Structures are given as C-alpha cells and as structure tokens.
Amino acid sequence: MKKIILAFIFGMISFISHANNVQISNLVKNGVNISFDLTWENSWHVGETYHDAVWIFIKQAPNGSPSWQHVNISSATVDSGYETKVPSDQVGFFVKRSSIGNGTATTSVTVVASGLIGVFQDVKVMGIEMVYVPQGNFYAGDGASAGRIARGDDLLEPVFITSNAELTCGATSSDFQYLTGTCTNIPSAYPSGYDAFYSMKYAITQGQYVDFLNCLGRNQQENRILSEVTGSTVTNYYVLTESIGIVKGNVVRCDENVGFGQITFYCDRNINGIPNEADDGQNRACNYLRVTDWMAYLDWCGLRPYSFLEMEKAARGPLLPVQDEKSWGSTLYNSPGTVQNAGTESEIWSNSYVDGGISTYSQAVIRVGANAPSAGASRELSNATYYGIIDLGNNPGDWYIGRNHVTTFTAMEGDGTLNSAGDANVTSWPVLDPTLAHPIKIALSSYGISAIGLANIGASTNTGGRGVRSNF
C-alpha cells in the first residue's frame, strides 16, 4: 500500500476520517471525559412522533493496542435545543433535537465514559444517523405480495397490529396467516413493530464496514470477509467480493501483502492502491454482506437486526397498504441510469431526482441516499419510507429476521462486543449458517416490501443491511 502522509495542522486535536452529512469533529479526551462537536444535515423534529437522531458509540484501544474494545457510556450532555438518550444498557447514546425544527443540526457533546482500560486509551467515536419510528398501529401485509402475512380470514386483507400482544395463527379476522408456508404464533416478545424503535437511515456503507473491520483482531477479520486472508499475502484483495477487481460497485480491499498482524482495509474504487481517496466509494452502500456479517456489525455497534414486521412498519407507517408497494409507498419501479461523479460523496444516477423508485436490484450499488435531492424531495423520488428511512430493501437489499425465528428472537440489543471469531453473540439472536438461504427484502419489480420468503444464500450484490434499536 502506498501510504499517504498528509501534512496536517499541528494544533488540530482530532483526525476526521470522513467528511459527510454526519460529522464528528474536535474530538478531545481527558480521562473519562470525551467531548466533540456533532453536526448533521437535514435533521428534523416535529414533536416526538417524527424526528431523527444520531446513534453515537465509542471504541477504545487500551495502551494503543491494535485491539479495539467497546466503551460504555455513563452520561452524555449536549447544548440547549438538543437532548441525549442514554439507554439502560449504556452501550451508546442518541443525540436528537429537543424542540421543533429542521435543517442542519449542530451541538457540542460531552460524554462520561465507563470501563476504560489501560494507562491510556486511543478512542474512536462513531455516529450513525437514525430515524425514529413511533409506537403505533400499523398494517402488515399488502394483500398481494408473495408469501405475505395476511388477516386470518382473508388473504387479501392486511393484519392490523394494535399492540404487542401475541399474534395467533388462525382463520378468524383476529388471527393471521401467511400466503404460503407454515404459520407459527408470534409471541409478544418478538419485535412486532408496534413499539417505537430507531432505524438506521441508510444501509451500512462500505466506509462503515471498513471502519468495523479495522477495529477487529486478525482472526475476527478473517471471518468477516469472503477472501482467504489467513496467510501473509492475499490473492483476492477485494475482500468482500473475493476478486482482484471491482465487482458490482464493491470497493473494499486490503493490500496484497498483509503480514500476520491486524490487516488494514480500505476503499479503493480506482484501483490505484491509495486508500480512501475522495472518489474511492466510501459512501457506497455495502453489498456482499452475508447475513452473519450483517449481524456481527449490528452487535458490534450496539444495534440489532430488523424483524420482518418492523420492516413493514418502518416502510408503511400508519398508512393502509398499497398492493405490491415498495418501501417508498408505491409500485413505482425504475432501473438506474449511468453513474455520475463515481465514488464521490455526490455520486448519483443519471436519473436520480427525476425518475424516483430507482431499484438497484442485481445492479452495482451506489452512494447511500443518492436519490434524495436536497430540495423538492418526495417519498418516491428519494426512495424514502413514510418516516424518512432511505432505500429500505434497496441499494442493495436488507437482511431481516424472518418468520422462522419468531419464537426466539427478541428486541435484545447488541452489546458492542463480538466473540473471538468475530461473530455476533447476543443470546436471543439466531445463530445462522450463511451457506443456507435467509430472508431478505429486495426491491424487485414483483416483490414489494410485504413480500416475505425471498431469500439469499451467502453474499451477493443484493445483500446488505441496517439495524434498529428499541432500547433508548
């Protein structure tokens, strides 16, 4: 790898690795106190029902060790006009507006960390933009999609979910059924979508996944990528697609010579060996994630997987279903044009802001939010859900916990720590075999957000994901 050594302003206290909508700057650590400035664009707060937020979590490297460990949060404070939500598990915290407003949000943040290890600690602070999905009734199933959930007495009608009570299989109007497959009662502990939760606004990006990989130990890294990297040299150095070049827009790679220590991963769209240049695709949605990679990332950052019912709630909100609707609330479906400003933070399709409903199904991925204009936005143009979550089930697709795990999966959140193999290890999460098929939402022309049963094996250009959190 050719290393870039950038001359930097010496008085600068922190090093900003990305420049994007969510920005964390002026990071200072003094003992257990960590402070920084936080800003993000296009924020909104219209009462508690409709708002966005940023999920903040912190990692530490005790004594400068290459091993990064999770940092819990004792408290967090922000400027007037903003508020924090530190959940009971203290794995991270939310920052949000505290009063009505929209536009660019800016606040200083001061955190008291707990569980710091070693004489000194290097720290990484990460922020993910989230969208609030409020508690409330919603319809699941659209009366048309393949494999959909439906009201017990009528496959053409949606299930109206009005509480966290157990959902029972049956043939009456108070029961539910599936169009196909075996029906199992859905216990009250399964995240039915009735309760409020926060969802990641965008899919996990390639830059995000690189940052994740670079915090793992070598053995964990080896299990979170497709390529064989157990030796000191790597043949297929584009490690998520197991190739020597760019496949379907995935730009995550390492050097060919990696030694036996921790590997440094980076984005390199232009294949010049220089990491993370401005046009290297860090902002692209991350495809080629196996279901286990997705779950590991979510555990590591203190979030959890979507349930299939939460995905419908997040997409549709309280509205009545539209048959075969995508997450943007209609059946509008367009193919992407050509990529403009490739790999940059302004990467878009040639028909972004024009056509709406642009699906990347089977296509290369693009920058997350590439279709959302800065003005004149609409759900269809921006590929947005009712609450403003972008490209749910699209660019690439979204893994979720399907109906086969309704009796065991609960809203238990990730704790920020993986097992030694780099796998998620949250008790109630299913232990999945990535070589088998698992359900995923993909905006196919014939598959709406209510379609269940569409599955994927391993990794592909359609496999990606995002997380939620309901403890806040």
- For helices 291-300 and 206-213, the axis angle rounded to 10 degrees is 70
Kindly state the smallest distance separating residue 439's Cβ from other proteins, in Å. 24
CB 31, min distance to other proteins, A: 12
Minimum CB–partner distance for residue 137 and other proteins (Å) = 9
Nearer to other proteins, 11 or 182 (CB): 11
The 3-state DSSP class for residue 296 equals: helix
Question: Contact 200/303 with Cβ under 8 angstroms?
Answer: yes
Measured CA to CA in angstroms, residue 296 lies from 161, 242, 262, 440 at distances of 30, 19, 18, 16
* Closer residue to other proteins (CB): 180 or 378: 378
Q: Kindly state the smallest distance separating residue 370's Cβ from other proteins, in Å.
A: 8
What is the enclosing helix (H) or strand (E) of 210? helix 206-213
Which CB sits closer to other proteins, 11 or 88? 11
How far apart are alpha carbons 112 and 32 in whole angstroms? 6
Nearest to 396 by CA among 358, 361, 367: 361
> Shortest Cβ distance from residue 217 to other proteins (Å)?
17
In angstroms, give the least distance from the CB of 131 to other proteins. Answer: 8
Asked if residue 464 lies in contact with residue 397, where contact means CB atoms within 8 angstroms, the answer is yes
Nearer to other proteins, 2 or 88 (CB): 2
CB closer to other proteins, 129 vs 293: 129
Is the CB of residue 180 less than 8 Å from the CB of residue 453?
yes
* Cβ closest to other proteins, residue 8 vs residue 260: 8
- Output 24 or 444, the one with its CB closest to other proteins: 24
Q: How far is CA 131 from the centre of its chain?
A: 11
Tell me how far, at minimum, the Cβ of 201 lies from other proteins, in Å.
Answer: 5
> Of 288, 262, 271, whose CA–CA distance to 237 is shortest?
271
Q: How far is CA 222 from CA 217, 231, 293, 430, in A?
A: 9, 10, 11, 21
